[in-house]
Amino acid sequence: MPRQLPTISDVAMLAGVSRATVSRVLNGSALVAERTRRRVQDAAASLRFKPNAQARLLAGGRSHTVILVHPATDRHAVTWYNMMLESGALRGCMRHGLQLEMNLVYPDPPHSYEHVLRPVDAMDCDGLILAPPFSDDPVLIALIQSRQMPVVCIAAGPATRPLTAGIGMDEHAAGFELGQYLLSLGHRRFAFLLGPRQHYAARERFDGFQRAVDAAGVSPSDVMTFPGRFDFDSGLEGFTAVRDSGFAPTVVICASDEMAAGALHGAHQARLRVPDDLSIVSFDDAPFAVLLSPPLTTIAQPVYAMAQKAADLIVAGIKGDHVPYELTKPRLVVRDSAGPVAR
């Protein structure tokens, strides 16, 4: 009963060519005369032809599924990062008629390697999207590539970036930009709550910040760092540590928005006013950043778009195209959690 959508046969007929030729044009094959290509494209456009993804993949003869490799956490928390990653990748895969499967693996190499490689060896997938920290691991990537399986990295470290297609933010530039902004506000005394030590992006965020601050001639004794793990609790703990240290910064820089939420909680408990008594800034621009009190000044990371792009890159990888790793520029989002320092 559904209306018949135009098929490749309709296009072929209208263009006066065979279905094979239409298929070639659709798939960008080089073996088509320019005039023929044009004719087919016109015919397709005038019919508003959309290829049927199911049929396309069926005919291609593959498993039609890509696997997103996520870190599993102890608590089965759904983080906004994972959600947007999943949602973006799902959307991207959908556009290509691909199934997406999640593979939540606990990151403890070499044990974790088994879990990642099992579906690869079983040929249960056509490609892998690696989220951090897996995207940072050259050994894992080599293992996958030795099995001829396309891999795409999200937020890869510098060691793995040359190895695969992928997409990430320029974390160093992000840290640098945030540093410059704080400097412009008059801040000269900084506490930095770090992310996980093994996490490349976390290190880069700090290094970029450090560079900005060094360039401004800030004394090393005026920046103090504290350990953290990207989560709310470590933000709260870090904030407490800052207070206990007696260091008295004018601003606390958090390696993630979750940590900033924790730090903010600490500030409220200490009855400090943000940003009047103390500024708090962070990285990510997670969806909740605008809901905190006060709304967070932060550096935006386009997770959803990156994940969607990752799906495109996997498709390119399946086709055998070689696409280089791509770096997205950071974007500062100014809201209310950072203010000028009182003089």
Partner DNA sequence: CTGAAAGCGCTTACAG
The residues binding its own copies (CB under 8 A) are 1-3, 5, 52-55, 57-58, 61-64, 78-80, 83-84, 86-87, 90-91, 94, 97, 99-100, 122-123, 126, 148, 232, 258, 261-262, 264-265, 268-269, 271, 287-288, 290-294, 304
Q: How far is CA 44 from the centre of its chain?
A: 35
Closest CA to 227 of 240, 218, 246, 214: 240
Residue 326's DSSP bridge partners are 167
Between 55 and 291, CB nearer to DNA: 55
Between 117 and 327, CB nearer to its own copies: 117
Stretch that binds DNA, among 56-64, 136-144, 188-196, 263-271 (CB under 7 A): 56-64
Q: 24 contacts which partner out of its own copies, DNA, none, CB within 5 to 8 A by kind?
A: DNA
Max Cα-Cα span within the chain = 80
The string of DSSP letters for 163-178 reads GSEEEEE-HHHHHHHH
Is 59 one of the binding residues for DNA (CB under 7 A)?
A: yes
Q: Cα separation of 103 and 127, whole Å?
A: 12
**Owner of token pair 């947007």:** 84
User: Do residues 276 and 339 lie in contact, with contact meaning Cβ atoms separated by under 8 Å?
Assistant: yes
Q: 268 contacts which partner out of DNA, its own copies, none, CB within 5 to 8 A by kind?
A: its own copies
Stretch that binds DNA, among 58-66, 124-132, 163-171, 334-342 (CB under 7 A): 58-66
* Alpha helix ranges (H) inside 164-231: 171-184, 200-215
Q: 99 contacts which partner out of its own copies, DNA, none, CB within 5 to 8 A by kind?
A: its own copies
Closest CA to 133 of 164, 112, 118, 115: 112
Q: 281 contacts which partner out of DNA, its own copies, none, CB within 5 to 8 A by kind?
A: none
Is 183 one of the binding residues for DNA (CB under 7 A)?
A: no
Between 251 and 260, CB nearer to its own copies: 260
The minimum distance between CB 240 and its own copies, in angstroms, equals 14
User: Do residues 335 and 295 lie in contact, with contact meaning Cβ atoms separated by under 8 Å?
Assistant: yes
The minimum distance between CB 315 and DNA, in angstroms, equals 12
Q: Which residues contact 174 (CB under 8 A, 6 or more apart)?
A: 204, 205, 208, 283, 299, 301, 330
Pull the structure tokens for residue 104. Answer: 């939540």
Q: 221 contacts which partner out of its own copies, DNA, none, CB within 5 to 8 A by kind?
A: none
The residue from 13, 26, 327, 332 that contacts DNA (CB under 7 A) is 26
The residue from 1, 31, 77, 342 that contacts DNA (CB under 7 A) is 31
Pull the structure tokens for residue 294. Answer: 């006060």
Between 126 and 258, CB nearer to DNA: 126
One-letter identity of residue 145: Q
Which residues would be at the binding site for DNA (CB under 7 A)? Answer: 4-5, 7-9, 16-24, 26-27, 30-37, 49-52, 55-56, 58-61
